Chain A
Amino acid sequence: MRGRPLLYTSYQADQALLNTTTKKVMLGLLLLVVATIPFQVIPGLDFLGSDDWLRLLSTTAIFVVGALGLNLLTGLAGQVSLGHAFFMGVGAYTAVWLGGPEDAPLLGLGLPIWIWLPAAGIVAALIGVAVGPTAVRVRGLYLAIVTLGLVFIGDYVFRNWDSLSGGAQVGRDFPPLQFRLWKEEEPLIDFTTPGTWFGVEVSGLAKSFFLLVTIAVVFTLLAKNLQRTRVGRAFMSIRDRDIAAEIMGVDEFGYKLLAFGISSFFAGISGALLASFVVRVIPERWDLFLSVQFIAIILIGGAGTVTGAILGSAFVVLLPRLVGDFTQWLQSVALGEGFGSAIANVFVATTPNDFGLVNTFAGIGPGLSVAQLNLVIYGLLIIGFLIFEPLGLYGIWLRIRNYWKGWPFTY
C-alpha cells in the first residue's frame, strides 16, 4: 500500500484521529516542543520559556478550551452565540464560590480543585440548558441578539452581586491552581510555586503551564471525538439544513440544547481556569469584548475545525504581544538614522505631540495607543478573514497542503 496516499482499507482507518503518517509525526513533534518549552532547551525557541511567554502560552491553552466550546456550538451546530463570555463568567464565579476561602467576608466554601473545576463546567452547562428553550425557539440572527442580552444581564448581575464578585471595578482573588484532597493546609500538588518534579527543577509558571496544556489536550480530544461521533454528525446536519436533519430523525430541539450545554460546559471550565490563572479578576472582565474575541478566534482559525480553534486561540492571545513588540521596534527605528527612520516616523510618534498613526504616549496627541491599535487590528482581521478567507488559518493551511500534495501538477 505504500506510496498510495489516502487509500484506506477500512472505515476505522479512514476515521482514525491521525489518519496519515504526516499527522502522527507533526503531532509528535508539536508535543515534544510543548513539553520542552519551559526548560528552554531548543535553540531558537528558548525565548518561549521566559516568564511572560509562558504566561501567554498558558492563557492560549485556557482560550483553546473555551474556543473549542464555541466551535462546537457555532462551528458545528451553526448556532451563533455572542454569550460565551457570560458562561465563562458563570464558571469563574461558581469556582470562586466553591473554592474561595471560607473565612473571607465574600462567599466561599474552601473546597478543593477537583470539586470546583468540574462544578464550574457543570453549573455553566446547566444554565446553558436552562436558557436553551428561549435560545432554541428563536433562530439565526434573533439568537445572536438573545445571547448578546445574556452578556449584558450577566454583566449586571456580576457587578451588583458584591458578596460573590467582590464588587464592580474591585473584583476578588480566585482560588489558585492547587490540588488538595480536602481542606488541608498544605496542598498535595501546588501548581503555582517552584519545586522539583522527578528530580527536575520547575518554576511555578512552568507547572501551571503543564497543567493547563494537559487540560487543553484532554478537551481537544473530547471535542475531536465528539465531532467524529453520532452527536457531532447530528450537529453538522442541523447546521447545514435543520429541517432536512429533522426529517432524517435528528431531534433538532434536543441536539440544539445539547450543543448549548456542552459549549457552556467548555466555557465554564475555561472561565474558571482563566480566573484562577490570572488570580484577581474584576466582574467587567466577562464583557462583550471577550465574546467577540472568541468569535474572532473561531473565525480566524477556521469555523468548525478543531485545528482552527487552536490556531485561532494562539493567534488572538499572542497578537497583542506581537503588536506591542512591533511598535517598540518601529519606535527604535524611527529614533534612529537614515531612510528607514523617515518611513517609520510616519507610523509612530517619537515625542508626545508628534504625528504618528501609533502613539505610545498614553492619552496625549493624535494617533492610536498600542491597545487601540490592537483593537483596530482585531477588527480588521475579523473583516479580512471573512471577506478573503472564510475558512481562516485552517483554510490557508489546506491550500498550502493541497498545493504540495499535487506538486508539480496543479491538481
Chain B
Amino acid sequence: MTSGLVVLAQATADGNAFAQMIVDGISFGAIYALLAMGFVIIFKSTSVINFAHGALTGLGAFLIAAFATVLDFPGRYLTFLPEWAQWTVNVLTALVAAALFGILLERVFLRPMVGEALFAVAIVTLGVDIVVRTITNDWIGTQPRPLGAPWGLAVVDLGWVRIAWSEVIQILVTIILLGAIAFFLRSRTGVAMRATAFDQETARAQGVNVGRIFSVAWAIAAFLAGVAGLFYSIFPRRATGVDQATAFIAFRAFPAVIIGGLDSIPGAVVGGFAVGIAESAANTYLTFDFLGNGFPGIVGYLLMMVVLLIRPYGLLGTPEIRRV
C-alpha cells in the first residue's frame, strides 16, 4: 500500500509551506470527514460497526467511473445540457445506485443480525467487505479507471498557496453535505433516526419505522462513501482513477472516527480534519530518510492511540455507562 497522497506542496518552493500544508490537510480531511460521518451515522442509528465502509467507497467510485465514463448514463440522453452538467447528472445517478446498494446490503446481510452481539455484527461486515471488495476489484480489473472529472488538472495559483480546482469543489461539496446532514437530522426522519439511535425498542413503541431508518442510514453512508471515493480518485489525490487499492482509504478514516468518538457526528468531522491535517503535516515536515515509505499512512493511527490514552471514548464521544 503506497501512501496514495499526491501533494502539491513540493511544487511551491516559493509559496508558504505552512499554508499549503493546511490547505492540503483540509482537503484530505474532507475525504476522511465524509467517510467518518457515514460510519458514525450507521453506528449511531443501527449499532453496527461497519468494516465494509472501504468496500462501499471502492464500489461508489467504481460506479461513478462506470456511469460517467463507460456508460455515460443518463448523460447521453441529456445532450441539451452542457458537458459538466451531464457529468454531474451521471455522478448523481451513480451515487443513487450506490445508496440503493447500501440499502440492499443492510437488508440482506445485517437485518438478520439485529439484536446480536455488536462484535458478531462487526465481523459480519468484515465478511461483507471481503465479498463486495473482491467483486468490485474484479470489475475494476488491473488498470485504474478514470472518473472523467470535467475540471481535470486545473489549479488555482494564489501565489502563496496552490489549490486544485477539484479541491475547491471538494471542500464546497463537503460543506454543503455537512450542512445538509445537520439539517436532515432536524427533520422528521432525522428526529426518528436520533430516537432510534437512542433506543431502538422505545423508538418502535413510539411508531418509528426502525427498519426504514436502518435503510436511510445505510443509504446516506453509502452516498457519502461514494462522494469520498470520487474525490479520492481524481486529481490531485489519485489522478489515474479508481483502482483496486482505493477501498483501503477507509482503513485510514477509522482513526478519524475513533478520535472524534464513535457516536458523535460533529466528532467525525473534527476527527476527519484532525487526521487530514496530521497526515499533511507529516507529508510536509517529517521527510526524514529513516521514516521510509508510507509514514503519513499511519499518522492517523498513532494520533488515535495518543487520544485514546487520554480520552478512551474519543474527543466528543459519550462515555459508556456500565451497568452490571
Chain B, Cβ-Cβ closest to A383? B127
Given A382-B124, A386-B123, decide whether A292 and B130 contact each other with a Cβ distance below 8 A.
yes
Quick one: which of A358-379 are within 8 Å of B by CB?
363, 367-369, 372, 375-376, 378-379
Contact B119 A152 (CB under 8 A): no
Quick one: which of A334-393 are within 8 Å of B by CB?
363, 367-369, 372, 375-376, 378-383, 386-387, 390
Q: Does A226 contact B (CB under 8 A)?
A: no
Q: Which residues of B contact A376 (CB under 8 A)?
A: 130-131, 134-135
Contact B124 A387 (CB under 8 A): yes
Q: Which residues of B contact A80 (CB under 8 A)?
A: 119, 122
Which of A193-201, A209-217, A239-247, A264-272 is near enough to bind chain B? A239-247
Q: Does A400 contact B (CB under 8 A)?
A: no
Q: Which residues of B contact A137 (CB under 8 A)?
A: 308-309, 312
Which of A36-44, A96-104, A153-161 is near enough to bind chain B? A153-161
Q: Does A124 contact B (CB under 8 A)?
A: no
Chain A, Cβ-Cβ closest to B142? A363
Bound: A295/B49 CA distance, A: 16
Q: Does A61 contact B (CB under 8 A)?
A: no
Q: Which residues of B contact A168 (CB under 8 A)?
A: 293
Bound: A145/B50 CA distance, A: 11
Contact A142 B124 (CB under 8 A): no
Q: Which of A243, A383, A387 contacts B131 (CB 8 A)?
A: A383
- Choose among A139, A146, A363 the residue with the greatest number of B CB atoms under 10 Å from its CB: A146
Could you mark each residue 215-258 of chain B with 1 if its beta carbon is under 8 Å from any beta carbon of chain A, else 0?
A: 00000000000000000000000000000000000010011011
Chain A, Cβ-Cβ closest to B55? A379
- Choose among A142, A160, A242, A376 the residue with the greatest number of B CB atoms under 10 Å from its CB: A142
Q: Which of A146, A292, A299 contacts B308 (CB 8 A)?
A: A146
- Separation in Å of the A391 CB from the closest CB of chain B? 11
Q: Which residues of B contact A295 (CB under 8 A)?
A: 123, 126
Q: Does A144 contact B (CB under 8 A)?
A: yes
Instruction: Describe A's contact surface by its main secondary structure.
Output: helix
Could you mark each residue 25-45 of chain B with 1 if its beta carbon is under 8 Å from any beta carbon of chain A, else 0?
A: 000000000000000000000
Q: Which residues of A contact B142 (CB under 8 A)?
A: 363
- Choose among B49, B119, B312, B324 the residue with the greatest number of A CB atoms under 10 Å from its CB: B119
Q: Does A204 contact B (CB under 8 A)?
A: no
Q: Does A32 contact B (CB under 8 A)?
A: no
Q: Which residues of B contact A145 (CB under 8 A)?
A: 49, 254-255, 257-258, 304
Q: Does B294 contact A (CB under 8 A)?
A: yes
- Separation in Å of the B132 CB from the closest CB of chain A? 8
Could you mark each residue 137-162 of chain B with 1 if its beta carbon is under 8 Å from any beta carbon of chain A, else 0?
A: 11001100000000000000000000
Contact B258 A292 (CB under 8 A): no
Q: Does A324 contact B (CB under 8 A)?
A: no
Q: How large is the interface on B (under 10, 10 to 19, 20 to 34, 35 or more residues)?
A: 35 or more
Q: Which residues of A contact B109 (CB under 8 A)?
A: 383, 387
Given A241-B324, A243-B324, A376-B134, decide whether A146 and B305 contact each other with a Cβ distance below 8 A.
yes
- Separation in Å of the A382 CB from the closest CB of chain B? 3
- Separation in Å of the B5 CB from the closest CB of chain A? 14
Which of B63-71, B164-172, B192-200, B295-303 is near enough to bind chain A? B295-303
Q: Which residues of B contact A241 (CB under 8 A)?
A: 324
Bound: A104/B123 CA distance, A: 42
- Separation in Å of the B167 CB from the closest CB of chain A? 26
Q: Does B13 contact A (CB under 8 A)?
A: no
Contact B308 A390 (CB under 8 A): no
Quick one: which of A123-158 are within 8 Å of B by CB?
134, 137-142, 144-146, 148-149, 152-153, 155-156
Bound: A133/B128 CA distance, A: 31
Q: Does A288 contact B (CB under 8 A)?
A: yes
Given A138-B312, A149-B304, A382-B124, decide whether A369 and B138 contact each other with a Cβ distance below 8 A.
yes
Chain B, Cβ-Cβ closest to A246? B324
Q: Which residues of A contact B305 (CB under 8 A)?
A: 134, 146, 149
Q: Which residues of A contact B293 (CB under 8 A)?
A: 159-160, 168
Contact B119 A292 (CB under 8 A): no
Contact A363 B141 (CB under 8 A): yes
Q: Does B262 contact A (CB under 8 A)?
A: yes
Contact B134 A142 (CB under 8 A): no
Contact A368 B135 (CB under 8 A): yes
Contact B304 A386 (CB under 8 A): no
Contact A144 B324 (CB under 8 A): no
Q: Does B129 contact A (CB under 8 A)?
A: yes
Q: Which of A78, A288, A386 contacts B251 (CB 8 A)?
A: A288
Contact B255 A149 (CB under 8 A): yes
Q: Does B120 contact A (CB under 8 A)?
A: yes
Contact A153 B302 (CB under 8 A): yes
Contact A160 B294 (CB under 8 A): yes
Contact A383 B128 (CB under 8 A): yes
Q: Does B118 contact A (CB under 8 A)?
A: yes
Contact A142 B112 (CB under 8 A): no
Contact A142 B294 (CB under 8 A): no
Q: Does B292 contact A (CB under 8 A)?
A: yes
Chain A, Cβ-Cβ closest to B108? A383
Given A244-B324, A363-B142, decide whether A144 and B122 contact each other with a Cβ distance below 8 A.
yes
Contact A142 B141 (CB under 8 A): no
Q: Which 7 A-B pairs have the closest CB atoms?
A: A160-B292, A382-B127, A379-B130, A379-B131, A149-B301, A383-B127, A375-B134
Binding site for A on B (CB under 8 A): 1, 49, 109, 112-113, 116, 118-120, 122-124, 126-131, 134-135, 137-138, 141-142, 251, 254-255, 257-258, 262, 291-295, 297-298, 301-302, 304-305, 308-309, 312-313, 320, 322-324
Contact sample, A vs B, 23 pairs, CB 8 Å cutoff: A134-B305, A137-B312, A139-B312, A140-B118, A141-B122, A142-B262, A145-B257, A149-B255, A153-B298, A160-B294, A168-B293, A243-B324, A247-B324, A292-B130, A375-B131, A376-B130, A376-B134, A379-B130, A379-B134, A382-B126, A383-B127, A386-B120, A386-B124
